[in-house]
Structures are given as structure tokens and as C-alpha cells.
Amino acid sequence: TVVDLSGELLSVARREVDVTALAPQDAMRQLADLAGEALATVPPGGRLAGAALALPGLVDRLGRTVLRAPNLAQWEGLDIVDLWALSVDDAPVGLRAANDIDCSALTVLREQPGSSFIYVTGEVGIGS
């Protein structure tokens, strides 16, 4: 998904991938390819600020290392930013990782400031 700084949706690309069946390096390569597909459909004239990856686990404060991810055990301890390889116009695209529920909460806060909410998901695990 590509959004502008106001949060307006610019592009979406989707691909079904069983990330748990892939080595982290292969999964990150597929994610970079998917991001490239999404960026290819964005209208010209914009400038890319960076990329974010929402993960089902704990990520360090720098947004680089997966600390704990029960559903992605082989990712634990990896610096996933080092595995990220995406460039636009020959310039590397920065990446920051975060917990998926934290990302969802930030989206709600941005779209509905001051509102109270509870976010519960049950896709793979339970989060709140």
C-alpha cells in the first residue's frame, strides 16, 4: 500500500505468500518486489519518504531488529533492514519495522484524533 503524507491511498499491490515457509531473506526480497510493483503504479511527481513494515511481533525501538515473533521464529534476532533491498531512481529506500498492532493503532489515531477505540484482531493470534 502506498499513501501520501496526508494518508490518501495512492496504490495497492497484493500477493498471497506463506512467509512462514520462506527464509527471511527470501521473504524480504518478495516484499521489496511487491513494494516495487505498488510504486510502479503511483502517479509521477511524488517523492518517496520511506517504507514501513508491520510485523506480528516485537521490534526494537530503532525499527530494525525482530526481538520476538512466535509466528516468525526464524526472524527473531534478525536485522531486517539489512535484508531490505529496494531502490527508486537508483536511491535506496529506507525501511522501518514496527509491531502490526501498533501500526494499526497509529492509523486509527491519525484518522480519528481524540477518539477512544479498542482494536482486536484474530487472524493468526490475538492482539489488542
Q: Does 108 reside within a domain? A: no
Position 127 pLDDT exceeds 60: no
> Which element (helix H / strand E) includes 66?
strand 66-68
Per the structure, the count of domains in the chain is 1
Quickly state the pLDDT bin for 121 (edges 50, 70, 90). Answer: low
81 CB neighbour count, 10 Å cutoff: 17
What domain range includes position 47?
2-99
Does the residue 122 lie in any domain?
no
Please state the rounded mean pLDDT for residues 112-119.
64
- In this structure, is residue 127 part of a structural domain? no
Q: Specify if 60 maps to a domain.
A: yes
For 29-66, b/e burial (b = at least 16 CB within 10 A) is bebbeebeeebeeeeeeeeeeebebebbbebeeebbbb
Q: Please report whether residue 88 resides in a domain.
A: yes
In a domain, 62, yes or no: yes
Q: What percent of the chain has pLDDT over 70?
A: 87
Write out pLDDT tens, residues 32-75.
999 999 988 888 887 888 899 999 899 999 999 999 998 888 99
pLDDT, position 126 = 52
> Which cell is 73 given?
521464529
- Does 59 reside within a domain? yes
Q: Please give the average per-residue pLDDT across 72-79, as a whole number.
A: 93
Residue 6 lies in a domain: yes
CATH of the domain at 16: 3.30.420
Who has greater pLDDT, 36 or 115?
36
pLDDT classification of 128: cutoffs 50, 70, 90:
very low
Burial (CB count <10 Å: 0-12, 13-18, 19+), residue 75: buried
